[in-house]
Amino acid sequence: MIRAGALLLATMLGGAALAAAPDTSLAPPARPQADAGLEAAGIVNSPELRPVSRPQSEQILAAAARPADLPLLGPASSLLPFARPDSLAEQVLFKRRKRRKGSVCGDIDIQGDSVGHVSGTLPGCGAKDAVRVREIAGVRLSQASLMTCNTARALKTWINREVETAFGRRNKVVSLRVAAHYACRTRNNRPGAKISEHGKGRAIDISGFTLASGETVTVLKGWQNRKTRKALKKIWRAACGPFGTVLGPEADRYHRDHFHLDVARHRGGSYCR
């Protein structure tokens, strides 16, 4: 009787325990095989494997870092669109240094080469400290011309004063057609005449003006053309002052097709004809 009562009590307690048990099991989920292997090795809870949080700035730098062996795909400036590229300033500086290196007569606007002393084949010919000029004030010469620095400076003054914009600011003169520069000869090549200023490197003859449009206005034809004669007369007149002698189509038959310009000085001032 006592044993039957005890059995009944145990059955009641077991049913209550089953009624109070949770629906889900409290046993930990099975770990993957890899975790089990790490646990067996005793390194699952190792401090070296714990994630370390990094500051946000370090995370940004890590994301932006590029491998050292990755080649550049373009200029460095393209990676920084908001930074002013140094290459532009370097290019301007490089061009200026190049022009300074190629300048003569101590003037960056006079581009050419130093020649030094030039001896002539006739008495009275020759030039000291001569230069061979290719470009003046941004205006090219059709041929490299031998002259003195005084002649080159007079050309620069003339170009800046009137020549460059004589045919309009939108159609500037970009080149001068040189008919003659240094030549050891007499005036107008006449036997027994005095040595020409050309024979001293102090003269240059200009026969035409090439414009930015590609057109070339010659002294010979342009002087007879109404559209260009006014500009050519302004050019001829502007040379009187920087040059001591200015001769044009109306001077004589020797100068019908060019302007003769030289830096010889006369007692009465510049001789312009």
* C-alpha dihedral, 67 to 71 to 73 to 79, nearest 10°: 40
Q: Residue 193: left (phi > 0), alpha (psi -120 to 50), or beta?
A: beta
Q: pTM higher than 0.85, yes or no?
A: no
| Position with higher pLDDT, 79 vs 86 | 86
Mean pLDDT of 103-132: 95
Least-confidence region, from 47-51, 113-117, 174-178? 47-51
Burial of 42 (0-12, 13-18, 19+ CB in 10 A): exposed
| Lookup result for tokens 């007149």 | 237
Within 8 A by CB and 6+ apart from 139, the residues are: 159, 163, 164, 173, 174, 175, 176
Residue 19 scores a pLDDT above 60: no
Using an 8 Å Cβ cutoff, are 104 and 87 in contact?
Answer: no
Residue 115 scores a pLDDT above 90: yes
For strands 271-272 and 259-262, give the pairing: unpaired
What is the enclosing helix (H) or strand (E) of 187?
none
